């Protein structure tokens, strides 16, 4: 009875071991089919006895990692080239903006220089005009204090514009002092043609020293 009970157990163990072996061999063959493992190389002797041809070389190229590295390097180089082009464009744009800014600064400096020169010229003219006005005011006072005949002789020696400016100043001084202007008497002492010319020019140009 004991021997009869032991035989079915041994048979089951043998069957289980064979099943496990079949599963292991099947798993290895499946991994080999997927290219994850070269199982046929391991079973090459047994396959050769059965007349089954095995794969001589691996399905995965030996330089597969090298190809991945080359592709990665190409992508990195492409990204670096794009970055370099972008930086070059930015540098070009920056230089263009710097040139435009420098041109605008030069234009502003030129305008400022022109304005400074105009202001300097205006100040010089204004100073000369002020000095002339001072001189005319002083001469008008001198002439007013002289005898009319002597004052007229001095006036006749001046050019027409100086005479006009002096007569205008004498009239303004008399008006400010509230006195009678001597200008009409001086004109009466001048030669008629010269007096007429002075009066005509005074009418055409009423203001000369403003």
Q: Confidence class of residue 183 from pLDDT cuts 50, 70 and 90?
A: very high
State the Cα–Cα distance between residues 113 and 126, nearest whole angstrom: 20
Whole-Å CA distances, 189 to 145, 170, 194:
16, 16, 10
Where does residue 156 fall: left (phi above 0), alpha (psi -120 to 50 degrees), or beta otherwise? alpha
Whole-Å CA distances, 18 to 8, 11, 23, 27, 81:
15, 11, 9, 14, 61
Q: What is the pTM of this model?
A: 0.42
Contact 99, 106 (CB under 8 A): no
User: Which tokens belong to 91?
Assistant: 């540098």
pLDDT tens digits along 194-210: 999 999 988 876 554 44
State the Cα–Cα distance between residues 66 and 73, nearest whole angstrom: 10
pLDDT tens digits along 48-86: 665 555 555 444 455 556 677 777 888 888 888 888 888
């Amino acid at each position: 009875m004991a021997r009869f009970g032991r035989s079915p157990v041994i048979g089951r163990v043998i069957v289980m071991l064979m099943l496990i072996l079949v599963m292991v061999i099947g798993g290895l063959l499946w991994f080999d089919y997927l290219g994850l493992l070269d199982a046929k190389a391991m079973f090459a002797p047994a396959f050769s006895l059965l007349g089954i041809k095995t794969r001589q070389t691996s399905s995965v190229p030996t330089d597969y990692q090298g190809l991945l590295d080359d592709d990665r390097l190409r992508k990195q180089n492409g990204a670096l080239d794009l970055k370099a082009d972008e930086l070059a464009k930015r540098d070009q744009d920056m230089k263009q903006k710097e040139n435009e800014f420098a041109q605008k600064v030069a234009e502003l400096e030129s305008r400022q220089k022109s304005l400074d020169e105009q202001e300097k010229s205006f100040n010089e003219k204004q100073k000369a005009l002020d000095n002339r006005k001072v001189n005319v005011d002083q001469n008008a006072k001198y002439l007013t204090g002289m005898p009319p005949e002597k004052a007229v002789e001095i006036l006749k020696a001046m050019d027409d514009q100086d005479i006009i400016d002096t007569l205008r100043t004498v009239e303004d001084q008399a008006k400010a002092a509230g006195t009678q202007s001597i200008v009409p008497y001086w004109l009466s002492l001048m030669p008629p043609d010269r007096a007429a010319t002075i009066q005509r020019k005074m009418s055409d140009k009423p203001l000369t020293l403003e």
